[in-house]
């Protein structure tokens, strides 16, 4: 149980274009979803937290107009990187928690999406 | 803000050896979590600890939630090659409808050459 998927697993895009990454909880309803980015050989850095039906809460230093987060249902959150630039190239990982089904506050992570901006 | 110190940063293992790593914090957490991340993958939850003093096992893995609530350790007994990867500790303070994780910098396990 507590499986989270991400799509796509990797994407290459040209500078200036936008990219959408999907995060789905497959076997539970996620009350909260989190988006992280991870640079090589570093730990995970929280970008934003989103509750279903609410606006996302962004961490300090994360541009909310650049990283658009939508959490329209209890099983789907999307992260759109707008006007991507090479410095946005990174490994983006989502996670989900569910208080509805007794999973507690521990987060279950997706497999990640490797974004390369050329 | 809260910070976690995870050590060691890296270590080499030989098959069959026991491995130990730990995390300490400047402040208390309600929950400690241990994750393992393989290259190009997302972290996988190994063990979750909810009470100070709690000792929990998952197969060859054992983790403890320190009495002071400011530290936790993870032991791996009789290591095998597939234990190689990066292990992250994470502290969690929950409140309201969500809880944010604070991650350690990770311990990288590699095989001894």
pLDDT digits 0-9 by tens, B38-78: 999 999 999 999 999 999 999 999 999 999 999 999 999 99
Beta pairing class for B98-103 and B71-76: unpaired
DSSP assignment letter at A18? -
Residues A76-118 pLDDT 10s:
999 999 999 999 999 999 999 887 666 667 889 999 999 999 9
For A14-47, write each residue's pLDDT tens digit: 999 999 999 999 998 888 899 999 998 889 999 9
Chain B residues within 8 A of A95 when measuring between CB atoms: 42
C-beta atoms of B103 and A44 within 8 A? yes
Contacts of A2 in chain B (CB under 8 A): 45
**Averaged pLDDT, A50-57:** 86
* Amino acid B2: pLDDT: 63
Q: Does B97 touch chain A (CB under 8 A)?
A: yes
Long-range contacts, A47-53 (Cβ 8 Å, 24+): A47/A79, A49/B98, A49/B100, A50/A77, A51/B97, A51/B98
A34 touching B (Cβ < 8 Å): yes
For A33, A98, A105, A115, B94, the CA distances from B101, given in Å and listed in that order, are 12, 14, 9, 23, 9
Q: Which residues 6+ apart lie within 8 Å of B95 measured at CB?
A: none
- Give pLDDT, residue B97: 43
Q: C-alpha angle with apex A43: A39 to A49, nearest 5 degrees?
A: 90
Provide the pLDDT for residue A82.
97
């Amino acid at each position: 149980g507590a499986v989270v998927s991400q799509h796509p697993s990797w994407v290459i895009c040209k500078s200036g274009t936008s990219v959408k990454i999907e995060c789905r909880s497959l076997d539970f309803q996620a009350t909260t979803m989190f988006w992280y980015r991870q640079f090589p050989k570093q730990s995970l850095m929280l970008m934003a937290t989103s509750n279903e039906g609410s606006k996302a809460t962004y961490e300090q230093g994360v541009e909310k107009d650049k990283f658009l987060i939508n959490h329209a249902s209890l099983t789907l959150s999307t992260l759109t990187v707008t006007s991507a630039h090479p410095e946005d190239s990174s490994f983006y990982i989502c996670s989900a928690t569910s208080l509805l089904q007794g999973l507690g506050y521990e987060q279950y992570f997706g497999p990640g999406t490797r974004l390369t901006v050329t | 803000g809260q910070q976690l110190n995870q050590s060691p940063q890296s270590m080499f293992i030989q098959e069959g050896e026991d491995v130990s790593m730990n995390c300490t914090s400047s402040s208390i957490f309600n929950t400690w979590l241990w994750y393992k991340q393989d290259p190009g993958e997302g972290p996988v939850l190994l063990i979750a600890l909810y009470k100070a003093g709690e000792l929990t096992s998952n197969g060859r893995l054992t983790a403890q939630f320190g009495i002071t609530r400011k530290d936790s350790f993870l032991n791996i007994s009789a290591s095998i090659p597939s234990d190689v990867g990066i292990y992250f500790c994470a502290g969690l303070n929950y409140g309201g409808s969500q809880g944010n994780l604070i991650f350690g910098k990770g311990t990288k396990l590699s095989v001894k050459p």
